[in-house]
Amino acid sequence: MKRASARHILVKTKSEAEKLKQQLAQGADFGTLARKHSQCPSKREDGNLGEFSPGQMVKAFDSVVFNKPILTVHGPIKTQFGYHLIETIYRD
């Protein structure tokens, strides 16, 4: 079974996600921004969601984690929870 590990930052608005993505592009630390801005309880772990399989996350989230390049920040990705910046750490 496929497995992956990812971290994310979840915010309410697309513009907030875009601002954070810009900060990341300029060298800001993902974990620091996650702790400061994310609406998800995973912010306590620097946004790290641990390891999971396809189907455990919502479809839009899964498609990024299992199909897009790893170690790259993708987003903003809209789900019913808000806007995510997603970085896949590894996948097998």
pTM for this entry: 0.96
Q: What is the pLDDT of residues 53-77, one digit of tens each?
A: 999 999 999 999 999 999 999 999 9
Helix count and strand count (H, E) for the chain:
3, 4
Supply the CATH number for residue 44's domain.
Answer: 3.10.50.40
Task: For residue 25, give Cα distances in angstroms to 5, 65, 72, 79.
Answer: 21, 19, 10, 23
Name the band, by pLDDT with cuts 50, 70 and 90, for residue 24: very high
Give how many domains the chain has, as a whole number. 1
Range of the domain at 57: 4-91
